[in-house]
Amino acid sequence: MLITHDLNLATYMADRIIVMYAGEIVEDAKIKSIKDSHHPYTYQLFKVLPDINKKKGDFILIKGEVPDLRIMLNRCYFYERCFKAKKRCGQQHPEMRKNVRCFYPM
């Protein structure tokens, strides 16, 4: 088992990757590249990976803030930061389905 924030290292070292957001599993799959991602958070993690070929200062961030985990809400915890979020995401907490916790997977 390897616990890391380095997605490049994880894809190199592991056959199976479990991605967590706000203390819960959002994706559990064989992920080797952005095309294998199904949860919007996993997809965005690939997008923010630093690239040594980019100009200095070209650093991409995931918009928004991590939710206050002291407050349990009946919604997707990634809702306010997700580019695929729809009304349902803000009104109901998604369950894991086909190894991804998302109403609108990639």
Domain count, the chain: 1
Residue 96 lies in a domain: no
**Is residue 100 a part of any domain in this protein?**
no
Q: Is residue 76 part of a domain?
A: yes
Contact 48, 61 (CB under 8 A): yes
Q: 56 vs 1, 20, 52, 53, 91, CA distance in Å?
A: 34, 29, 9, 9, 40
Domain, as residue range, for 45:
7-52+61-90
Q: In degrees to the nearest 10, what's the CA dihedral of 32, 30, 75, 3?
A: -80
Is 1 domain-assigned?
Answer: no
- The backbone torsions φ and ψ at residue 71, rounded to the nearest 5 degrees and listed phi first, read -110, 115
Predicted model pTM: 0.89
Question: Pick from 23, 34, 46: which is nearest to 101 by CA?
Answer: 23
Residue 97 lies in a domain: no
Position 98 in a domain: no
pLDDT, tens digit only, all 106 positions of the chain: 889 888 888 999 999 999 999 999 999 999 999 999 999 999 999 988 877 777 766 677 899 998 998 988 899 999 999 999 999 999 999 999 999 999 999 8
Task: For residue 88, give the 3-state DSSP assignment.
Answer: helix
Note whether residue 84 is domain-resident. Answer: yes
Using CA atoms, how far apart are residues 84 and 93, in angstroms rounded to an integer?
A: 15
In a domain, 19, yes or no: yes
